[in-house]
Amino acid sequence: MCHEALISDRVITKRNIYYQDPDLFGSQQYVDNLVDDVAFTFRVGRDALNIVAAYKGLVAGNATIALKSNSLLNCSSDNNGILIPHVETIREVDVGEIKWIMVIEKEATFRGLAASRYYRSSAAGTGLLITGKGYPDLITRQFLRFLHSAYSRIPIYALVDFDPSGIDIMLTYKCGSRSLSHEENITTPGLSWLGPKGCDILGHTGHRHSIGNPPYTHQSFGVSPPSSQESSTPLAFSRMPPASPVEIFSNLTTLDRRKAITLLSRFTKANDEDTGRDMDENELICELQLMLMLNLKAEIQAVDDHGDLTGWLDEKLAGG
């Protein structure tokens, strides 16, 4: 199928390949893995095979995307955002007076901010919202890299859940993933972690242990032990407010703990001073250790009882 696509000079999607013979392939994931294996074997990007993923990522904000076909995409034309086009089809992106770019882990959070047009009302000035709907696809990662290369002066922030998966998603944007290490122009080294972080979560819940000011030192968090009256209550929940209709605080699962340990092992193996400074490695190590020690994870909405992030975002973006 790849050979036919190259010979006929047309582009096919991985989804199309799967539906050519679902009984043969068995699952979409199997097709995805095959495509990545072929690209890796030939040491080329997936684009060189004329195979692309179905568009997944969304963008919203005061920007206009000019395509090589001479058509224009207005990123503020839809309250739900517009699909991010393939970088190969983009001639240029006009960002106007945009002051910041925010990559958001969750589609629901993205849609809420896009619908309220936070990218216009932000106290930090106009901005651009992007989401890859969880772990990002190549098209979203390429688009973010395109913006980073074209407008390096504009800061790019990551808004992800306070859990190991959130940090892993942020690192996928920033540093790439091992499975797609052969792909080019898909990392955004200038990406900064906006939060929420441990200080935001614990400060908001009123669980104010003396954990110092971030970035923490990984030698000691200075977390106060529970008193005798609290000894039977899990540390992370001893003084939390009553649970809200949406569970935004919870214990780490076994899978969460494994992922956190895997991430910590990755940092340990790297053990490169330059890499550590570039990735704010010490801070990430501390945050992961804090999650493990308190057995706590939280969703983005944990910074506000009503899920309205705008006040918190204004404060963070202005301070960033």
Candidates 296, 283, 217, 224; CA nearest to 257 is: 296
Active site residue 55: no
Amino acid 35 reads V
Question: Which of the following is catalytic: 18, 19, 30, 216?
Answer: 19
- Compute the chain's Rg from CA coordinates: 21
Q: What's the per-residue H, E or C state across 299-312?
A: CHHHHCCCCCCHHH
Cα torsion angle, 294, 295, 296, 297, sign: positive
Within 13 Å of residue 57, how many CA atoms lie on the same side as its CB?
A: 25
Q: What are phi and psi of 69, to 5 degrees?
A: -80, 5
Within 13 Å of residue 83, how many CA atoms lie on the same side as its CB?
A: 9
Q: What is the dihedral of CA 313, 287, 237, 299, to 10 degrees?
A: 40
Q: Which active-site residues does the annotation give?
A: 19
